[in-house]
Amino acid sequence: MTVITNKNDVTAIRPELEEADSQGLTDFLNLSLSDMRAWFENHGERTFRADQVFQWIHRKRVLSFEGMTNLSKDLRQKLNESAILRAPQIETVQESADGTRKYQLRTYDDFMIECVFIPNASAAGRNTLCISSQVGCAMGCRFCATAAIKLKRNLGAGEIVAQLYTVLNDLEQNGYELDKTKPHAQHVIANLVYMGMGEPLHNVDNVIRSIRLIGADDGLNYAARRITVSTSGLVKNMLRLGEETDAQLAVSLNATTDDTRSEIMPVNRKWQIKDLLDACRSFPLKAGRRVTFEYVMLAGINDSDEDARRLIRLMKGLKSKINLIPFNPHPLSPYERPSAERVAVFQRLVADAGFSVFVRTTRGDDIDAACGMLGGEKLEGAREQELVNISLSDAS
C-alpha cells in the first residue's frame, strides 16, 4: 500500500442563480452554462466569457481562476473577488496492491469525503471511478461503514463533479495520458458510479445537477450510459432520476424477505421489497438496458439456497443484472463474509434459472476502499482500536 499525504468547500444548494455563501461569493462549480451566462451579464461582462470559464472548469478541469489564461488579469481579479470554486482538496491518496487508488478529500468546511479509482474494473483498460454524494449517510445500513458516520450534510453539485475532475488531474500527473483537446474523459474513466459515501437519491437535486454538468456539451460531454446511480431504495426519487437523466440505475437489494431487509437496511421499513421492485418496473429503461441489483452477501443472513430461490422469484419479469458482492468485513459491522463455495452455489442456482448474475471481485480492501468500507476517519479509528484490543489480549 502506498500513501501520499497532503498532496496539494456546503449546505444543500439552493435553486436560485445567486448561490452565494455568507461572504456573497458565488460557487461557479455549481452553475450551469445558462446560469453562468446570466451571472456574467448581471455583472456587466460579455456572455461569451461565461462560455470560456465554463469550458475551463468542466472541460479542461482547471479549478482556479488564475489558471484561466485567456481571461484578462482584471477579469480574473474580479472573479476572485466575487466568485469561488469550492473543489474539495486532496488530503491523502492510498494505493492498493491491486492498483486501486482511494482519495480522501477535504471540503471547504473541513469535512472528509472519499472516492475510489478502480483500474481495469470491468475489463482491461475499462477503469471506474466511484464518487460520493454526501458527507456521511442517513440510511443506517448495518453492513456499511459510512453509516457509522451519520449524515453531516449533502454535497453540492460542484463538489460532486469536482471529485471526477480532481481524480483526472491526479491521474494525469501520475502517468495516465489525457488529451485535453477532447471533450470527454471516457478513455480514462469508462464508468462513473455514484456508489461512494452517502445515498445519492437522498441528495437527488444535486446528483441530477451534477450528471448534467458532467454531460454538458461544453464540458466533458460524459455519456449518461456510462454513469450509474445506486440507491438503497428511496422509491420516491427513483422515477425522477429516470425521467430527468439517462443514467443507469443500480438498486442495493441485499435480502429476499422484508424481515431480513428491514433488519440490515432500515429504509425497508418505509419502502418494502414490493414497493421497491414496483418502482424498478416503472423506471424508464432505454432499449437494451437493465436495472442492476446489488446483493451484498452476509454469512448466515441472506446467503442460503432458499434466499437464492426467493431472489429468482423476485426477479421474474424484471430486466435485470445481478451483482453478488461478498461482504467485506470491517470493525464497524457485525457481519461475516460467506465462503467462496457458498457464493458459488448461490450464483449457480440463480444463473441456472436464466439470470445474468456475477460475483464482484473485491478491489482495494487492503486500503478500506472496497464496497461498504468507505468510513474515513471513523473506520480508521475502529481499526486502531481493534489493534489495541489485540495487543491487550496478547499481553494478558
Known catalytic residues are 114, 371
Residue 224 φ/ψ, nearest 5 degrees: -65, -30
Half-sphere exposure of 18 (CA within 13 A, CB side): 8
CA distance linking residue 242 with residue 281, whole number of Å: 12
Q: State the number of CA atoms in the 13 A half-sphere of 57 facing the CB.
A: 27
3-class DSSP assignment, residue 279: helix
Task: For residue 239, give the C-alpha cell.
Answer: 422515477
Cα–Cα dist 52/36, whole Å: 10
What CA–CA distance (Å, rounded) separates 369 from 124?
A: 20
Give residue for cell 475532475.
Answer: 165
Please check whether residue 296 is in contact with residue 373, taking contact to mean a CB–CB distance below 8 angstroms.
no
CA separation, residue 372 to residues 127, 206, 217, 245 (Å):
19, 22, 34, 26
Asked if 188 contacts 168 with a C-beta cutoff of 8 angstroms, the reply is yes
3-state SS, 316-369, equals: CCCCEEEEEEECCCCCCCCCCCCCHHHHHHHHHHHHHCCCCEEECCCCCHHHCC
Nearest-angstrom CA–CA distance, 377 and 374 = 9
Angle at 213 between CA 170 and CA 226, to 5 degrees: 70
The set of cell numbers assigned to 161 is 463533479
